[in-house]
Structure 1
């Protein structure tokens, strides 16, 4: 039977944000706690590994969510942090989802879609279409317009067969390569990645104003709007 783990990556320092954004308050709780809860409550998730700047909250987090197997310290880069989380996953796990800890509004339906597609194809990511026209620019001059029909914005969670993800990370380490997400590492070794519909409310908290937007959507979801 398939065993699924979620790695929640929340080890950033939040330089652009002015503080560690994963710990910024959202409706009275740290941003990352909302993400942890979404995966800990999901019936198809067997265990959760959290990657934080340090392990000071480890006991508190484990006591609140029984599915949390480990809280590990992050690395220098995001890719290093995910690698440490992957090392902490139990041997019997066959499928791994990697999620940004600063995407607090991830829904159970999206998690389920990624799990199902990952089971079928070996790797899957949620995406959203590009709504705006995309321009190529050099300096402050437009050089061309890109056909947006083939362009999509990637979200998390991104799901993979554990062996495939481990192989992708091993090759990246060997090559000294750092990618922008886990899917880019799998692409490099020829992995086939299925896309599933993303969710517009699954925003990444990047700027202070994002917290206000997230709180509005959170309140709407609580009211069933």
Structure 2
């Protein structure tokens, strides 16, 4: 376990982005935790932090590191000129880590954005649109895309064999949800206090809020805010970065 003391986050800021980065990312194969995997030579976590920090609405970024990796993450961020980003240790599950991040925020933060470190290319405009929707009165906001594929409901089978189709949802009513997800702070804290952790915990903070009866609304997401989960996603992310650098001197 790291012996580095927890950082004290200063008062006086109102919108914070919490980035849980304590997961192992087993679908990317063995090696470093997913958030620390390189993307065009730079760890995904650094890209994700820079992405949310570019947003006008975000005044504080807090990374929730692996419980035994806070010192490593602190040094990593410092090495990439991100010394103003705060780091705290996470828990056993994503749900635990987000809660610990919430606990570390100053009292005057009233809007919280929770962003996946595995979505390193989210445009600043998407981050701002989520924050602005919360500021406009929505209690919980998620960016999302319309689906292009038909979706089937199935009866899951664990043996790898054919799975019977049980239904075909109406595609026009479905959305693929992204991050950052934005919340009025008290709404998200209440959800974490009321929704018990089960198994590996919740993977979607908006889903927790829904279970408390609070309405969640959707704003347009962005195709470049995809989640890097499989090796093929890394190839796509590298291509997006190369295009950005050629076009915008990213």
Any idea what SS the aligned residue of 1:8 has?
A: strand
- The number of equivalent residue pairs is 223
Bigger drift between 108-117 and 137-146 goes to 137-146
State the Cα deviation string for residues 44-72 of structure 1 (Å, max 9, x = none). Answer: 2111110111202224525722541x211
Task: Give the TM-score taking structure 1 as reference length.
Answer: 0.92
Q: 2: CA distance between counterparts of 1:200 and 1:60?
A: 28
Structure 2 spans left out of the alignment, 5+ residues:
1-11, 158-162
Q: Give 1:117 shift.
A: 0.8
Structure 1 spans left out of the alignment, 5+ residues:
none
Q: 1:91 aligns with which of 107, 124, 128?
A: 107
Question: What are the within-5 Å matches in structure 2 for residues 201-212 of structure 1?
Answer: 201-212=224-235
Bigger drift between 56-65 and 145-154 goes to 56-65
Bigger drift between 177-186 and 96-105 goes to 177-186
Residue pair 1:4, 1:45 contacting (<8 A) in 2 also: yes
Counterpart position of 2:129: 113
1:44 aligned onto 2:57 = yes
Q: Give 1:107 shift.
A: 0.7
Q: 1: CA distance between counterparts of 2:24 and 2:13?
A: 34
1:159 aligned onto 2:170 = no
State the Cα deviation string for residues 77-113 of structure 1 (Å, max 9, x = none). Answer: 1111111111111111110000000111011100110
C-alpha RMSD of matched pairs (Å): 2.0
Task: Tell me: CA distance 1:148–1:44, structure 2 relative to 1, closer, same or farther (3 Å).
Answer: same
State the Cα deviation string for residues 91-140 of structure 1 (Å, max 9, x = none). Answer: 11110000000111011100110011111212110011111111122242
Q: 2:40 aligns with which of 22, 27, 34?
A: 27
Q: 1: CA distance between counterparts of 2:166 and 2:63?
A: 43
Task: Tell me: CA distance 1:39–1:66, structure 2 relative to 1, closer, same or farther (3 Å).
Answer: farther
Q: Give 1:190 shift.
A: 1.4
Counterpart position of 2:6: none
Counterpart position of 2:145: 128
Task: Give the TM-score taking structure 2 as reference length.
Answer: 0.83
Task: Tell me: CA distance 1:146–1:43, structure 2 relative to 1, closer, same or farther (3 Å).
Answer: closer
Q: Which has the higher strand share?
A: 1
Counterpart position of 1:142: 165
Counterpart position of 1:74: 90
Any idea what SS the aligned residue of 1:146 has?
A: coil
Q: 2: CA distance between counterparts of 1:159 and 1:67?
A: 21
Residue pair 2:13, 2:60 contacting (<8 A) in 1 also: no
Task: Tell me: CA distance 1:62–1:167, structure 2 relative to 1, closer, same or farther (3 Å).
Answer: farther
